[in-house]
Amino acid sequence: MRGLLFAANWKMNLGPSDASAYMASFLPAFDPRPDRMVWFFPPALSVNSVVAAVRDSGRHDIVVGVQDIYWEPKGAFTGAISGPLAAQAGARAVLIGHSERRHVFGETDEQTGKKLAAAIAAELHPVLCVGETLEQRDAGQTLAVATRQLNAALAGRAATARVTIAYEPVWAIGTGRNATPRDAATVHAAIRAWLEQQGAAETQILYGGSVNLKNAAELLAEPELDGVLVGGASLDPQAWGELVRTAVA
Ligand code: PGA
């Protein structure tokens, strides 16, 4: 059976009480299935609400994570959260190097690498996001950018760490313009080849960027895709439940 991962990145949406209402609506909208997992990345302030809802439901197919961490475990870093703090709140996963961290907040490859190491140290499962800008794509650098970002964060670590990769072309995020299933599969195959070289062939690779109810099935028909990372289309609990339920037979 092909196990698929449906990851919801809420970004800076849904506070603690919104998150509780969301889960009350989502849980009955999607019954667990052995061939799919659902991961939620709420804002850090809402992690507790989602963790409590999942715990009370007794479900094991849902994992909660945070959207970013700082690499130091604790200390005088006003406004930041760390891996150990996120784990204490019940998070089990973390997005690392999301394009908004890289391009809105100026996160460098080096910082992404430090955060990935910190996630592993805190026993959080990292979802490392890679992907090119439109300019880089037009310059034919798509595969070079993905490889550079993989090398910077993961070289030498891929085989021992439990990691998931998300390929998210920057030009497709929040724009309504998704990569074609073929385009996505081509980049996924290159990422897979890199992972094989690192002795990590089994690593899951997700696609993200304007995935929605209309295009999810077509994208997931590509066997190179092990799941999706979804922003905007995960914010409505009923629509997200329907996407997870119907995107594959
Ligand atoms: P989107 O965002 O689905 O709204 O394009 C995806 C992401 O940034 O993870």
CA of 43 to the centre of ligand 1 (A): 14
For the full predicted model, state whether its pTM sits above 0.85: yes
Tell me, using a 6 A CB cutoff, whether residue 209 lines ligand 1.
yes
Ligand 1 contact via 232 beta carbon (within 6 Å): yes
From first to last of its 249 residues, what are the pLDDT tens digits of the chain? 669 999 999 999 999 999 999 999 999 999 999 999 999 999 999 999 999 999 999 999 999 999 999 999 999 999 999 999 999 999 999 999 999 999 999 999 999 999 999 999 999 999 999 999 999 999 999 999 999 999 999 988 888 888 999 999 999 998 988 889 999 999 999 999 999 999 999 999 999 999 999 999 999 999 999 999 999 999 999 999 999 999 998
- The Cα–Cα gap between 83 and 125 comes to 10
Q: Where are the alpha helices (DSSP H) in the chain?
A: 16-29, 47-57, 83-88, 99-103, 109-121, 134-138, 142-154, 181-197, 216-220, 237-246
Distance of CA 13 from the midpoint of ligand 1 (Å): 13
Tell how far the Cα of 175 is from the centroid of ligand 1, in angstroms.
Answer: 9
